[in-house]
Amino acid sequence: MNLETPRLLLRPLLVSDLDAHYAVIDSDPNVTWLGVARTPEESRAYVSGKAGLWPKHGFGPYAVIEKATGAFLGHGGLEPLEETQEVQLSYYLGRPAWGRGFATELGEAALRHGFGPLGLERIVAIVRPHNAASQRVLTKLGFVHERDGTFSGAEAQYWSRSPAD
């Protein structure tokens, strides 16, 4: 299922996005969750796993494409949080997209889809404690910081939001 925002085309992440994803996300340790660049083989497994969420759950991360340029900016959307099986909002955008409001725009579209057609009662998000920019995005989107813990192999903050928030 494709979504559109004023500046973005959001379409399901595909295995064929591997090269673009590696160039923008996985080769840059400043973008990856654990702060370490992935090898091309690790990137292939990662993208394949994320793309495989769509047929399994009926939702998953979107490839984030800038309409004006056609550039692949990264991926994000809704996916299961492994530790809790709740649905989480995620966004991984390469450095050329930073500071331009794309994460908020993507998040708004994903939340509308999650609380609307998917009928979710709650969406969570995890963010690294040092990632102030991502914390600002979550605040703009109406998320509330609930607790700290270890998620996806790293120390993180756990945030949540319901449709009424």
Rounded to an integer, the average pLDDT of 134-145 is 97
Quote the CA–CA distance of 22 and 74 in Å, as a whole number: 9
Quote the CA–CA distance of 108 and 140 in Å, as a whole number: 9
Place of tokens 């299922």: 1
Amino acid of residue 88: Q
In angstroms, the Cα distances linking 149 to 123, 130, 137, 159 are 17, 14, 20, 11
CATH numbers and ranges of domains, the chain: 3-161 (3.40.630.30)
Q: What is the DSSP letter of 105?
A: H
Beta-strand runs (E) in the chain: 3-4, 8-12, 61-66, 72-80, 87-93, 123-127, 144-151, 154-161
At residue 36, the pLDDT reads 86
The whole model's pTM is what? 0.93
Instruction: Return the SS3 of 4.
Output: strand
Quote the CA–CA distance of 84 and 30 in Å, as a whole number: 26
At residue 34, the pLDDT reads 82
Place of tokens 């889809």: 113
Q: Does the pLDDT value for residue 73 go beyond 80?
A: yes
- pLDDT tens digits, 105-119: 999 999 999 999 999
Rounded to an integer, the average pLDDT of 40-49 is 94
Amino acid of residue 142: G
Q: How many Å from the N-terminal Cα to the C-terminal Cα in the chain?
A: 25
Rounded to an integer, the average pLDDT of 52-62 is 94
Cβ neighbors of 153 (< 8 A, separation 6 or more) are: 33, 34
